[in-house]
Structure formats: C-alpha cells, structure tokens
C-alpha cells in the first residue's frame, strides 16, 4: 500500500485531497492521484472501499471524511517504469507499506490509515 507524507508534516497517509466544487469523489481521486503522483488512472480502475471518518492527521481537534478507493495497477512486470517514480505537488516523500507476515508497520501513520484502512486488510 502506498502512503505519502506531505511537505511540512510528519505522518504518512494516502494520497488525496478535497474535491473541487461539483466534482464527484471518484473524479477527485483521479485528479489528486495525477497531481500528487503523476499517475493517470481511469475511474473504472478504482474500487470504492467506503467512506470513513477519523481524526485529521495534521489538524488538532479536526476530523477528516475520506472516500477511499483502491487502485491495483495490474501486472507489475507490464507496468514496470510506468508507476510512481518521484513525489509531485505538495508530496515530500512516498513510502510503500509491506504487509508481509511478521513485518512491523511504521509508527508514523495517520489515524485514518491505522484506525480505518489497515483493518480492511487484516492489519491494525
């Protein structure tokens, strides 16, 4: 699972952001992934996982409401060299989470990731 750390912050979260006025959640996901990661996805490639509310990672006493989508790029060999190579926009750092058995997850993940997303994948 890919996580990102935005400039000036300490916690890793999923790429994304707020929808523009009149923009659907899936269209916002498509746009944000392109802006932050340079990856072009089609809405049909996104699987809606649900809407989740959690403490905001970088704003005290605030909540975040996230419409979470999963994107699986297909065969890694076919996609070699076409996926994310470096962060863009406000992203300072990219980090993949390793879900292998016995691998400890890092302690600097946003509450939305630890409380809502990891349990979807049997972690957390």
- With CA atoms as reference, report the closest residue to 46 among 65, 30, 23: 30
**Number of Cβ atoms within 10 Å of the Cβ of 95:** 14
Q: At residue 98, what are phi and psi to the nearest 5 degrees?
A: -95, 115
| 27 bridge partner residues | none
pLDDT of residue 43: 87
Q: How do residues 18-52 score in pLDDT, each as one tens digit? A: 999 999 999 999 999 999 988 888 888 899 999 99
pLDDT of residue 86: 72
Residue 62 tokens read as 């605030």
| CATH superfamily to which 2-121 belongs | Nucleoside Triphosphate Pyrophosphohydrolase (3.90.79.10)
Instruction: Note the pTM of the prediction, 2 decimals.
Output: 0.85
Q: Where are the beta strands (DSSP E) in 40-84?
A: 46-55, 63-71
User: Can you give the residue ranges of every domain in the chain?
Assistant: 2-121
Q: How do residues 74-119 score in pLDDT, each as one tens digit? A: 655 555 555 566 778 899 999 988 877 788 899 999 999 999 999 9
């Amino acid at each position: 699972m890919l996580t990102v750390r935005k400039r000036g912050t300490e916690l890793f979260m999923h790429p994304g952001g707020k929808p523009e006025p009149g923009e659907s959640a899936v269209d916002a996901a498509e746009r944000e992934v392109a802006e932050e990661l340079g990856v072009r996805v089609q809405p049909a490639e996104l699987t809606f996982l649900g809407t989740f509310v959690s403490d905001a990672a970088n704003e005290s006493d605030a909540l975040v409401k996230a419409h979470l989508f999963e994107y699986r790029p297909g065969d890694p060999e076919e996609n070699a060299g076409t996926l994310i190579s470096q962060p863009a926009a406000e992203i300072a750092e990219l980090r993949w989470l390793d879900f292998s058995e016995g691998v400890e997850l890092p302690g600097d993940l946003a509450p939305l990731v630890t409380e809502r997303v990891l349990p979807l994948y049997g972690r957390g």
